[in-house]
């Protein structure tokens, strides 16, 4: 028997960073997972821990980097943690650090942005992932569970029909999804947060501003728009469940239903995924 793969690290390291610029504060909350590979096979195979760093130590490195870098965006923060781990432990070969962000929006009071009060953003969770080796880095950003819909300008028609087909064609339906999106950087943008905002804006502009012949049709065009908006990304992967809103049959009650009453269900759902590159 042989050990084919090994990795370990620390998960769900929750850290809040507060950057103070006079009276104005910025808050950044991340849930971090830091995983290592390297020359610690004997910890698994021979009960020899001499080359293995404690996972508690990995957690402490996250907090130390947070203290040193309170203002870094998630991508740069994850890279700084990965770099510190490789710099500190020469027996390690790679450090992969993922940070899922809890977004806090600045509260507006009487139309003015409050300097240090925030409300929780409940839609979607941004994340950054940095896989750092001693020869280079792969940097990804993304958004998990971002949910949106439009109540018209979507259809499903001209598909394969056979004895197993029961769904009718429609040219006017609700299109809704909870998106998982990941984009890979080929170059570092001037501002990660601003670039990520442009990507999301591009995705939603296509979704909201054009007729959708299918979720597949929308996702491909959304991916193209994101690549056009931000030249520093090489690819974008979109994975979207088609959250169904089914037209309720009101005819037994003598009522019509001109696309006004729907039954909400997300099980089972269509699962549509694609990757768009240059």
pLDDT at 140: 98
Catalytic site residue 55?
A: yes
Classify residue 183: in a domain, yes or no: yes
* Residue 125 is labelled as binding a ligand: no
55 is in an annotated binding site: yes
User: Looking at the structure, do residues 153 and 265 belong to the same domain, yes or no?
Assistant: yes
Same domain, yes or no, for 167 and 246?
yes
Kindly name the residue from 55, 102, 182, 235 that is annotated as catalytic.
Answer: 55
- Tell me, what's the pLDDT at 259? 87
| Residue 244 known to be catalytic | yes
Q: Are residues 20 and 72 in the same domain?
A: yes
Confidence of residue 244 (pLDDT cuts 50, 70, 90): confident
Annotated active-site residue 10? The verdict is: yes
Query: Do residues 16 and 126 both lie within one domain?
Result: yes
Q: What is the pTM of this model?
A: 0.91
What would the mean pLDDT of 38-47 be, rounded to a whole number?
Answer: 97
Q: Are residues 208 and 153 in the same domain?
A: yes
Q: Report the CATH number at residue 264.
A: 3.10.270.10
Q: What mean pLDDT is reported for the chain?
A: 95
The domain total for the chain is 2
Catalytic residue among 235, 244, 269, 275: 244
Considering the domain architecture, whether residues 108 and 153 belong to the same structural domain is answered as no
Asked if residue 215 is part of any domain, the answer here is yes
In this predicted structure, what is the pLDDT of residue 246? 86
Domain annotation covers residue 254: yes
Last-in-domain residue among 134, 166, 189: 134
Q: What is the pLDDT of residue 233?
A: 98
> pLDDT (tens digit, 9 = 90+) per residue, 139-160?
999 999 999 999 999 999 999 9
For residue 165, the enclosing domain spans: 145-277
187-238 tens-digit pLDDT: 999 999 999 999 999 999 999 999 999 999 999 999 999 999 999 999 999 9
Query: How confident is the model at residue 265, as a pLDDT?
Result: 85
Last residue of a domain, one of 112, 134, 156: 134
Residue 49 lies in a domain: yes
- For residues 153 and 101, membership in a common domain is answered with no
Whole-angstrom distance, CA of residue 203 vs CA of residue 218: 9
Q: For residues 129 and 165, state if they share a domain.
A: no
pLDDT at 273 over 80: yes
Q: Is 56 annotated as a binding residue?
A: yes
What is the pLDDT at residue 266?
77
Domain boundary among 111, 134, 157: 134
């Amino acid at each position: 028997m042989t050990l084919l793969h090994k990795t370990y690290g620390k998960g769900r390291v929750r850290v809040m960073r507060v950057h103070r610029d006079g009276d104005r504060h910025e808050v950044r909350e991340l849930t971090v997972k830091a995983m290592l590979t390297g020359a610690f096979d004997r910890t698994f195979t021979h009960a020899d821990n001499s080359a293995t760093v404690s996972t508690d130590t990995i957690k402490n490195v996250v907090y130390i980097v947070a203290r040193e870098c309170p203002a870094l965006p998630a991508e740069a923060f994850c890279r700084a943690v990965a770099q510190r781990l490789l710099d500190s432990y020469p027996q390690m070969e790679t450090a992969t650090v993922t940070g899922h962000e809890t977004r806090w929006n600045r509260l507006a009071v009487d139309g003015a942005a409050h300097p240090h009060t925030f409300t929780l953003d409940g839609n979607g969770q941004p994340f950054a992932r940095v896989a750092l080796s001693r020869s280079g880095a792969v940097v990804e950003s993304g958004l998990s569970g971002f949910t949106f819909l439009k109540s018209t300008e979507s259809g499903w028609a001209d598909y394969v029909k056979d004895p197993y087909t029961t769904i009718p064609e429609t040219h006017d339906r609700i299109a809704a999804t909870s998106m998982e999106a990941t984009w890979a950087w080929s170059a570092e943008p001037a501002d990660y947060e601003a670039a990520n905002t442009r990507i999301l804006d591009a995705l939603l502009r296509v979704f909201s501003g054009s007729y959708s012949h299918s979720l597949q049709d929308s996702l491909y065009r959304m991916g193209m728009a994101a690549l056009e908006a931000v030249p520093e990304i090489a690819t974008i992967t979109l994975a979207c469940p088609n959250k169904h809103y089914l037209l309720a049959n009101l005819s037994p009650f003598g009522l019509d239903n001109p696309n006004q009453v729907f039954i909400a269900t997300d099980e089972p759902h269509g699962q549509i995924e694609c990757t768009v590159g240059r």
